[in-house]
Amino acid sequence: MTENISPSRLSSQALPGVERRHRKEQIFRRLGLGAILTSLLFLMFFLALIVARGHGAFLETVILVDYHFDHETLDIDQAVSQNDLANANYRSVIRAAMRELAPEVSGRSARRDLYGILGAGTEYDLRDLIIAQPSLLGTTAGIWTPSSDEFHLFHRNGGDRASRQSTRLSPLQIELYAELDNAGRIKTRFNWTFLSSGDSRDPEQAGVWGAVKGSILTLGICFLLSFGVGTLAAIYLEEFASKNWVMRVLEVNINNLAAVPSITYGLLGLAVFLNFFGLPRSAALVGGLVLFLMTLPTIIISSRVALQAVPPSIREAALAVGASRVQTVFHHVAPLALPGMLTGSIIGMARALGETAPLLMIGMVAFIVDPPSGVLDPSSALPVQVYLWAESPERAFAEKTAGAIMVLLVFLITMNLAAILLRRKFEKRW
């Protein structure tokens, strides 16, 4: 009512310049929101691309084949030993079964095409199956068998005309595909091999487990060393060292080291750990040591920040009741700084997880089939595996590359989640 007659003395018109200030705030908010949305958009785009490309790596195409495990075809005696089972002729069982599946196929090259629709590891899969279940001997069993990678790609692309143009399957194999598909002998299922096995030259047998295990071992060593050494160094520098020029020089150098390119640490590792100490090449131990040196400066810096954030009054309180400096630090200051130190360390770990260059220098780039069983075994690591597969000419490895990136991202998210949970747990106390 009154507003109609005279404007309120508290409205934004009442004070000159207030409207302009509000406008500025509006502009700033829009810009900030825009920045966040843009980065989210890029992130979503990236994630969508990776998932679209890589989810196929978690799938495999399997063909139902009826195998006759008779002793004659397997070329073994009636009374068999483990050793016989390991060396039996599974290839002829497979070939016989495939011929039965498509009796009309004849001729050497046609037969080769026929056998080629199965994955290269089928023999070994059957061997492992028979060794695990010798009771199958002498029986006929229908087994869903992984197909070759080209067959898998063809099936994944829908087996239609478009996929016919891009495939490397032979016309006979395409015909066989249609036949088997009509007979209901083709299906897609989750590819456990991708998660459970090591690297391989054959895409359908290649898995990330070797690389994941290598990364776990490498990062485990890296974390133990860099958290232990990093926090102790930070505690010493922050709580005990006198602030003289030596310490200042040290501080500047730690900051410099944090910015040194990671490949330099790889060269250092090569020169020191491999050439001087003679540690084995490609080992997770050496990888862990190199990544430890790389992350140490970062962890020292973030731990010092965490220590500086502890109020000095806590230190005074402890000293005033007669605690020694070590007691003050370990009973009061360090526990309060622990969440911050842990967060800093895990951020350092996340960076170490993605590092490829230093690992290349110490030979973790080798082609390694067996997952490492210890820190001295030759091993790979996830980012190196991505690098190796991305370089590979086989088309099916493109999918595996994106799949490995997905595994890497899951690893990363798990680590960050762990960081948040740890932080919560230690902060919750007060």
- Torsion, Cα 45 48 53 57, to 10 degrees, reads 150
Which of the stretches 65-73, 84-92, 157-165, 329-337 binds another protein when contact is defined by CB under 8 A? 329-337
| 423 near another protein (CB under 8 A) | no
Task: Give least dist CB 344 to another protein, A.
Answer: 20
The footprint of another protein on residues 339-358 (CB under 8 A) is none
CA distance 429 to 215: 32
Residue 60's beta-bridge partner residues? 189
Nearest 10 degrees: Cα torsion 72, 73, 77, 81:
-160
Decide if residue 242 touches another protein (CB under 8 A).
yes
Q: CA 38, CA 13: separation in Å to the nearest integer?
A: 35
Stretch that binds another protein, among 178-186, 260-268, 311-319, 381-389 (CB under 8 A): 311-319
Phi, psi of 147 (to 5 degrees): -85, 175
Q: Does 428 bind another protein (CB under 8 A)?
A: no
Report the run of H or E that residue 144 belongs to, with start and end. Answer: strand 140-146
**Which of these segments, 90-98, 130-138, 153-161, 322-330, binds another protein (CB under 8 A)?**
322-330
Binding mask 360-399 for another protein (x = CB under 8 A): ----------------------------------------
* Residue 303, C-beta contacts closer than 8 angstroms, at least 6 positions apart: 230, 231, 233, 234, 235, 337, 340, 341, 344, 345
Kindly tell me which residue out of 8, 81, 256, 327 binds another protein, with binding defined by CB under 8 A.
327
Report which of 44, 53, 39 is spatially closest to residue 405, judged by C-alpha positions. Answer: 53
CA separation for the pair 381, 354 (Å, rounded): 9
**Cα–Cα distance for residue pair 194/92, rounded to 1 Å:** 27
**Is 19 strand, coil or helix?**
helix
Residues 153 and 396: beta-carbon distance below 8 Å: yes
Kindly report the number of other CB atoms within 10 A of residue 221's CB atom: 21
Is residue 55 part of the contact set for another protein (CB under 8 A)? no
CB closer to another protein, 108 vs 428: 428
* Least distance (Å) between residue 307 CB and another protein: 15
- Closer residue to another protein in complex, CB, 79/321: 321
319 binds another protein (CB under 8 A): yes
Q: How far is the CB of 338 from another protein (least distance, A)?
A: 12
**Of the two residues 161 and 243, which places its CB atom closer to another protein in the complex?**
243
Verify binding: residue 311, another protein, rule CB under 8 A: yes
Task: Give whichever of 370 and 427 is closer to another protein, judged by the CB atom.
Answer: 427
Nearest to another protein of 213, 304 (CB atom): 304
> Does residue number 246 form part of the binding site for another protein (CB under 8 A)?
no
Residues of this chain that interact with another protein (CB under 8 A) are 242-243, 311, 313-324, 327, 331-332, 336, 429-430
